[in-house]
A and B are shown apart, each in its own frame.
Chain A
Amino acid sequence: MEALKVSPGFEKILPQEYQELVEDGPYGRGLAVKDLGTFKEVIEEHPLCAGCGLGLAIRLILASLPDPGNTIIVGTTGCNSIVMPQVAIHNIHALFGNQSSVASGLKRALRLRYPDKTKDVVVIAGDGGVADIGLAPTMHSWFRRENITTIMLDNEGYSNTGGQESGMTRQGVVVNMAPVGKKFPKIPLHEIAKAAGCAYVATVTPARARRLGQMAKRAILIARDIGPTYVQIFCPCSTNYKFPPSETLKRAKETEITEYMSPEAQEFIEKIEKESQSRGGKE
């Protein structure tokens, strides 16, 4: 299947949303963040809180997938898990914390099942799922050099369970259900990712939309051929951190944008982006 196709005779009975996805969806079109607003997106409504940084980050990631029709997202419990099942892309909800193990097995199985095709397996999970409860599976997927991308939506706490601190909460911060303040610093997971063998590591925020899109795309492309990749996206939480929803992007800008590539990954990205530009590529 090259793109989404309907069995002959069933076209007209599909609900409007699906007809639009077939006619104007992102599958097989190589779209990017700058194309948002010109095509039917794989999710257009979500039940997250007003001003949620995750909502925007997820939208930007989904718009940046190099091949959405051949992408499988593996997620776990967290704010994002109430969105992901509604996305018109294959996704799996793993047990809390074992998403990288599920993704590793899935990637290997897909390689056996579809030896002639490229299937992207992308972990999208929160900071609790990646850095606390799922830290061991996450790191071991990096140690094993699995060809998967891990994207952490970092809202610096457990937000949909009332507001507990996570390892990614900054030192001294008081959240709803952690009244004495965080006693140790934020886990430097992006540094750990480099040491653990990731070929590409980036920290970004949804306030830098095109940069986020570019980083997500690079991470997925590098994971295909070279090795594990990690993108950490700072997604401020107005509910847990008690700031007006309109301030989300302002707060999101407070984080540092960093990008690391292994020499092999650097060479690979330069090559494919040069090729893409010569073909009049999007980003």
Chain B
Amino acid sequence: MSTLLGFPKNGYKVVPGPETYLSPSAAAMGVVLPNEGEALIEGDIVPEEVAYEEIANRLLSARNPTLFPGPLVLWAWSEKAVAKARALLEMVGEVPGMKIIPMPDYRPKYPMINPKVEINPNHPNLTIWHNNIDVCVFVGVHCHFANLALKIIRAGTDCYTIALCGQRGHEDAMITLRDVHAEEVMDLTDTIRKVKMERLSC
């Protein structure tokens, strides 16, 4: 499989680390963003329905699933942001034991971050380590800070990362959906409910 630019993908997989001290960006390793109706699972392009199910499975199987909401959903700066925030809270309610740890802004913390109550894009690994998070969901974080945080997490932790992106997705996450707004979050919640019912009926 080759990328848009014709470079070989080299079989690079975006999987949980710890990968290396300086993890390469997935884009540099040939991973490209999905088109409309598609998503990425570990660097491979898949239909978005497949990714919805995989996210549901990952969250419902997690020991300590955690939502990391960023400024775009934490702050009520628009009606759409508020609607998306409401939908996310409903989704969290459907995943047993799911916690919420916020990323209210991107300021470096002086003298140090409190990893128990917040996550910061400059050292997200501290929050992952401190709280033993095995599956996390990024949402509402601006592109470059999301990619930075996702890379650091892949470099230094074994956490499985999921990014629900309002734009084109995050290739540095293990699973990413694109064009995620309130409606798509509600669709994901429905998928989680469906997978839960399937598991109960087994």
Residue of A nearest to B83 (CB): A7
Chain A residues contacting B100 (CB-CB under 8 Å) are 10, 13
Which residues 1-35 in A have Cβ within 8 Å of B in the complex? 1, 4-10, 13-16, 18
Does A47 count as interface, using CB distance less than 8 angstroms?
Answer: yes
Distance, CA A45 to CA B114, complexed state (A): 15
Does B75 count as interface, using CB distance less than 8 angstroms?
Answer: yes
Chain A residues contacting B101 (CB-CB under 8 Å) are 13
B118 and A1 contacting across the interface, CB-CB below 8 Å: no
Min CB distance A60 to B, Å, is: 19
Given the known A-B contacts A6-B75, A6-B76, A8-B76, are A86 and B85 also in contact in the complex, defined by CB atoms under 8 Å? no
A15 and B102 contacting across the interface, CB-CB below 8 Å: yes
A15 and B110 contacting across the interface, CB-CB below 8 Å: no
Looking at the complex, which one of B75, B108, B111, B118 makes contact with A7 (CB distance below 8 Å)? Answer: B75
Min CB distance A103 to B, Å, is: 20
Min CB distance A199 to B, Å, is: 33
Count the A-B residue pairs with Cβ separation under 8 angstroms: how many? 59
Having A10-B85, A10-B102, one finds 8 other A-B pairs with CB under 8 Å, namely: A6-B76, A8-B86, A10-B89, A10-B100, A15-B102, A15-B114, A85-B108, A88-B107
Chain B residues contacting A6 (CB-CB under 8 Å) are 74-76
Min CB distance A11 to B, Å, is: 10
Residue of A nearest to B77 (CB): A1
Looking at the complex, which one of A8, A13, A86, A88 makes contact with B108 (CB distance below 8 Å)? Answer: A86
Does A208 count as interface, using CB distance less than 8 angstroms?
Answer: no
Chain A residues contacting B82 (CB-CB under 8 Å) are 7-8
Does B166 count as interface, using CB distance less than 8 angstroms?
Answer: no
Distance, CA A14 to CA B101, complexed state (A): 8
Does B117 count as interface, using CB distance less than 8 angstroms?
Answer: yes
Which residues 69-124 in B have Cβ within 8 Å of A in the complex? 69, 73-77, 81-82, 85-86, 89, 100-102, 104-105, 107-111, 114, 117-118
A1 and B76 contacting across the interface, CB-CB below 8 Å: yes
Residue of B nearest to A1 (CB): B77
Q: Which residues of B contact A (CB under 8 A)?
A: 69, 73-77, 81-82, 85-86, 89, 100-102, 104-105, 107-111, 114, 117-118
Chain B residues contacting A144 (CB-CB under 8 Å) are none
Interface footprint category on A: 20 to 34
Q: Which 5 A/B pairs are nearest by Cβ-Cβ distance?
A: A7-B85, A5-B76, A9-B89, A7-B76, A15-B117
Distance, CA A5 to CA B74, complexed state (A): 9
Chain A residues contacting B105 (CB-CB under 8 Å) are 88
Distance, CA A10 to CA B77, complexed state (A): 13
Looking at the complex, which one of B77, B81, B107, B111 makes contact with A85 (CB distance below 8 Å)? Answer: B107
B102 and A7 contacting across the interface, CB-CB below 8 Å: no
B102 and A4 contacting across the interface, CB-CB below 8 Å: no
Distance, CA A88 to CA B106, complexed state (A): 10
B102 and A5 contacting across the interface, CB-CB below 8 Å: no
Given the known A-B contacts A7-B82, A9-B85, are A14 and B107 also in contact in the complex, defined by CB atoms under 8 Å? no
Q: Which among A13, A47, A86 has the greatest number of chain B C-beta atoms within 10 A? A: A13
Chain A residues contacting B69 (CB-CB under 8 Å) are 10
Q: Which among A4, A15, A47 has the greatest number of chain B C-beta atoms within 10 A? A: A15
Does A111 count as interface, using CB distance less than 8 angstroms?
Answer: no
Q: Which among A7, A10, A85 has the greatest number of chain B C-beta atoms within 10 A? A: A7
Chain B residues contacting A9 (CB-CB under 8 Å) are 85-86, 89
Distance, CA A46 to CA B111, complexed state (A): 8
A15 and B118 contacting across the interface, CB-CB below 8 Å: yes
17 contacting pairs across A/B (C-beta < 8 A): A1-B77, A5-B77, A7-B75, A7-B76, A7-B82, A7-B86, A8-B85, A8-B86, A13-B101, A15-B114, A15-B118, A16-B117, A18-B102, A45-B110, A47-B110, A85-B108, A86-B109
Min CB distance A87 to B, Å, is: 8
Chain A residues contacting B102 (CB-CB under 8 Å) are 10, 13-15, 18
